[in-house]
Amino acid sequence: MDQIIVRGGNELHGEIPITGAKNACLTLMPLTLLTDQPLTLTNAPRLSDIRTMTQLLQSLGAEVASLQDGQVLAMSSHALTSQTADYDIVRKMRASILVLGPLLARYGQGVVSLPGGCAIGARPVDLHLKAFEAMGAELDLRDGYVWAKAPAGGLKGAVIDFPIVSVGATENALMAAALAKGTTVIKNAAREPEIVDLAVCLRRMGAQIEGEGTSTITIQGVTSLGGATHPVVTDRIELGTYMLAPAICGGEVECLGGRIDLLAAFCEKLDEAGISVTETPRGLKVARKNGRVRAVDVVTEPFPGFPTDLQAQIMALMCTAEGTSVLEERIFENRFMHAPELARMGARIEVHGGTARVTGIEKLKGAPVMATDLRASVSLILAGLAAEGETVVSRVYHLDRGYEKVVRKLSGVGAQIERIKEVHHDE
């Protein structure tokens, strides 16, 4: 297994290109199933989940070509050979359920394995299925698969009122409603930028949608959709992560493709901490205003609140801030597994349930640490950038699921960072 070695102490200067959002791209790719015309996505991220979705679409008979070193996906579904998404592919990725809405809407039927062969109640897949039922689909769960069939004249417009906010279910309902007969109203819809991006792309294909970005989305079904070329929205979590790099170790970095509206709550916290964020024609420029960063309190919330996926990274910043900060995690339990690892570098952190209290110190010290999940792994790299001496981060395979070319991007702005194969010594 690989390790990442960081030697702290360097200020960062230059620019970091931000890739397209993985979660947006995974939702946009199934749109090819809604049309027989070509769909091209630009600014696609090069990550393992994207390759899995490519395999899934190809297994249905869609053509998917990866161009320009994987940054452009050219797709066509003019002649599908199957409407069945097999367990062998679906088990690798929960986003696979997003092919069901498009298959139902265009072909009147779809068979999709339950993600990971899970029991239906415990997983939020039931919200996707309730939306299809509201539009007249008949559903049968057997042998670990969802068998879905539209009524004779196709899916019908409906009022879909979600009991809880679900990004995936909102996306699936939105795609299915684009070709349904009549009007569909999605209430308590998710408001994330990835939903807005999906609606923008659907509109480019000829769909009639309004209200995306609010909790009520209205879709007027059309008889067919055309092709389009669409740039995948910037990855707001990658953006926030790299914005924190100059905040932690000084300097000035421009994040290319960044937009404040993707991270308004996060940018407000940076401002409060004494970090300037300036919009430029190419993205966002980030630098410390003067001296040491100030401690700020953070509460994670669904969009447009502070993202849970940036909590570990801002905790790394707070480790050397002036004062004491309180971070409250309201989205996921067990999301402070990075705290003991940061403590190995000298950080003063007390965790009580869903709250972490961080008392800032002057300087962290490099240490061997272990990544426990995707966001934790990058928070340890950020901490290492500001620490004295050498930090060795193990288990970095978590990183590859959500960040491409971390070492290249950070070393490009002056960080001392390298990736090496882990050496195993005999006992």
162: domain CATH number?
3.65.10.10
- Give the pLDDT of residue 302: 86
Binding residue ranges for phosphoenolpyruvate: 22-23
Q: Which pTM does this prediction carry?
A: 0.89
Which tokens hold the place of 123?
A: 């997983």
The residue that leads in pLDDT, 332 or 156, is 156
Task: Please report whether residue 388 resides in a domain.
Answer: yes
Do 371 and 384 belong together in one domain? yes
Catalytic residue status for 255 = no
Q: Give the model confidence (pLDDT) of 339-384 as tens digits.
A: 999 999 999 999 999 999 999 999 999 999 999 888 889 999 999 9
Nearest partner of 394 among 406, 411, 377, 415, judged by Cα: 377
Q: Give the model confidence (pLDDT) of 224-240 as tens digits.
A: 999 999 999 999 999 99
Task: Please report whether residue 151 resides in a domain.
Answer: yes
Do 174 and 28 belong together in one domain? yes
Do 216 and 255 belong together in one domain? no
Give the number of domains in the chain. 2
Q: Give Cα separations from 182 to 100, 156, 230, 349, 350 (angstroms).
A: 20, 6, 26, 55, 55
- Give the pLDDT of residue 401: 76
Range of the domain at 194: 22-231
Task: Please report whether residue 426 resides in a domain.
Answer: no
Last residue of a domain, one of 231, 254, 281: 231
Do 103 and 170 belong together in one domain? yes
Do 162 and 289 belong together in one domain? no
For residue 138, is pLDDT > 50? yes
Which one of the listed residues 118, 249, 255, 319 is annotated catalytic?
118
Do 152 and 260 belong together in one domain? no
Binding residue ranges: 22-23, 94, 123-127, 309, 331
Do 33 and 147 belong together in one domain? yes
What are 393's strand-pairing partners? 4, 369
For residue 117, is pLDDT > 50? no
For residue 176, is pLDDT > 80? yes
Do 226 and 263 belong together in one domain? no
Task: Please report whether residue 427 resides in a domain.
Answer: no
- Give the pLDDT of residue 424: 54
Which tokens hold the place of 204?
A: 């480019």
For residue 23, is pLDDT > 70? yes
Q: How far apart are alpha carbons 188 and 191 in whole angstroms?
A: 9
- Give the pLDDT of residue 427: 36
Last residue of a domain, one of 212, 231, 250: 231
Do 264 and 386 belong together in one domain? yes
Do 205 and 262 belong together in one domain? no
Do 204 and 246 belong together in one domain? no
Do 246 and 168 belong together in one domain? no
Last residue of a domain, one of 231, 261, 283: 231
